């Protein structure tokens, strides 16, 4: 198995957000809401051929579905959304997955949705989160129900339970709540402004990593063969998982992974 750094130096300009090869899957790293950029023609052809044979899979609500490099315009050009497939496989809502409410908030703006589902302050933040996850998530059609008990378990672990139950979900309060939670979960950045996942010091960091890994394990171990286009940060986590398991994989590029 080649080490990650060897591929990084070898293919530096070819795939800045990384391309990950593991068994019968090719996982293409993307910067959210931007088209994938790969300059190596043979690498592009390899991905395209694999996609033609096995299909493409998108992440989340399909916000990154438009990928001209692979002739993909909408989610209809994909075989499936892997989050939907992951959700179908669940028998119970994993409490760690509630951490999604505090990830990529500059893009997803979860706080606005939470306030809306809490009738802009008529209900608590706790109620707004429960309604948003059960009724408002774009890919929620396959999620098991999030019960109050499961939400309480998550919020209690990350020390936000009392605040969630005792704060009205106005737009301002919801934004402050989710921003504080995100800062606690993703607070460590290196000199280049990238999140440093080497050490998880807070419970929010730990549970966020656990929630992300549930999805990563699904792609690596249970998902169908194909090409997966996902946020590039997942590639670093998959690399960590497979290194811990002492399994082989190949990774090209990745110097701009976020």
pLDDT tens digits, the chain, 258 residues: what are they? Answer: 444 444 444 444 478 889 999 999 999 999 888 899 999 999 999 999 999 999 999 998 788 899 999 999 999 999 999 988 998 899 999 999 999 899 878 878 899 999 999 999 999 999 999 999 998 876 556 789 999 999 999 999 999 999 999 999 999 999 999 999 998 886 555 555 555 545 567 899 899 889 889 999 999 999 999 999 998 889 999 999 999 999 999 999 888 876
Beta bridge partners, 182, equal none
H helices within the chain, ranges in order?
A: 4-10, 41-54, 82-88, 105-108, 110-117, 125-131, 148-157, 161-166, 171-185, 203-221, 233-244
Domains of the chain: total: 2
Task: Say what the alpha-carbon torsion angle 153, 158, 163, 164 is, to the nearest 10 degrees.
Answer: -50
Q: Please, is 237 exposed, middle or buried when counting C-beta atoms within 10 Å of its C-beta (0-12, 13-18, 19+)?
A: middle
How many Å apart are CA 40 and CA 6, to the nearest integer? 17
Strands laid side by side in the 56-58 sheet:
80-81, 56-58, 226-231, 25-30, 19-22, 250-252
Task: Let me know if residue 257 belongs to a domain.
Answer: no
Range of the domain at 181: 91-192
Residues 181 and 238 in one domain: no
The pLDDT value recorded for residue 111 is 93
Residues 98 and 62 in one domain: no
Residues 105 and 75 in one domain: no
Residues 169 and 97 in one domain: yes
Task: Let me know if residue 52 belongs to a domain.
Answer: yes
Beta bridge partners, 30, equal 231
Residues 182 and 95 in one domain: yes
Task: Let me know if residue 42 belongs to a domain.
Answer: yes
The pLDDT value recorded for residue 77 is 96
Residues 101 and 69 in one domain: no
Residue where a domain stops, chosen among 192, 214, 235: 192
Contacting residues for 111 by C-beta, under 8 A, at least 6 apart: 105, 171, 174, 175, 177, 178, 179
pTM to 2 decimals? 0.78
Task: Let me know if residue 168 belongs to a domain.
Answer: yes
| Strands 19-22 and 25-30, bridge-based pairing | antiparallel
Cα angle 88, 212, 174; round to 5: 95
Residues 180 and 127 in one domain: yes
Residue where a domain stops, chosen among 192, 210, 234: 192
The pLDDT value recorded for residue 38 is 93
């Amino acid at each position: 198995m080649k080490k990650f750094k060897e591929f990084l130096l070898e293919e530096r300009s070819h795939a800045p957000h990384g391309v990950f090869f593991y068994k019968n899957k090719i996982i293409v790293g993307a910067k959210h809401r931007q088209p994938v950029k790969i300059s190596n023609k043979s690498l592009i052809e390899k991905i395209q051929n694999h996609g033609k044979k096995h299909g493409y899979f998108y992440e989340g609500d399909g916000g990154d579905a438009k990928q001209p490099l692979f002739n993909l315009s909408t989610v209809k050009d994909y075989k499936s959304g892997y989050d939907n497939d992951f959700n179908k496989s669940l028998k119970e809502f994993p409490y760690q997955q509630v951490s999604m409410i505090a990830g990529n908030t500059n893009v997803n703006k979860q706080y606005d949705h939470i306030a809306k589902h809490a009738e802009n302050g008529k209900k608590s933040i706790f109620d707004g989160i429960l309604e948003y996850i059960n009724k408002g998530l774009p890919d929620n059609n396959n999620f098991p129900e999030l019960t109050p008990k499961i939400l309480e378990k998550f919020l209690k672990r990350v020390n936000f339970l009392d605040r969630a139950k005792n704060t009205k979900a106005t737009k301002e309060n919801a934004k402050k709540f989710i921003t504080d939670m995100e800062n606690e979960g993703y607070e460590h950045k290196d000199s280049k402004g990238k999140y440093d996942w080497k050490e998880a010091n807070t419970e929010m960091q730990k549970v966020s990593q656990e929630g992300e890994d549930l999805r990563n394990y699904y792609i690596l171990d249970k998902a169908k063969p194909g090409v997966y286009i996902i946020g590039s940060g997942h590639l670093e986590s998959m690399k960590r998982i497979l290194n811990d398991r002492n399994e082989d994989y190949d990774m090209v590029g990745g110097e701009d992974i976020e």
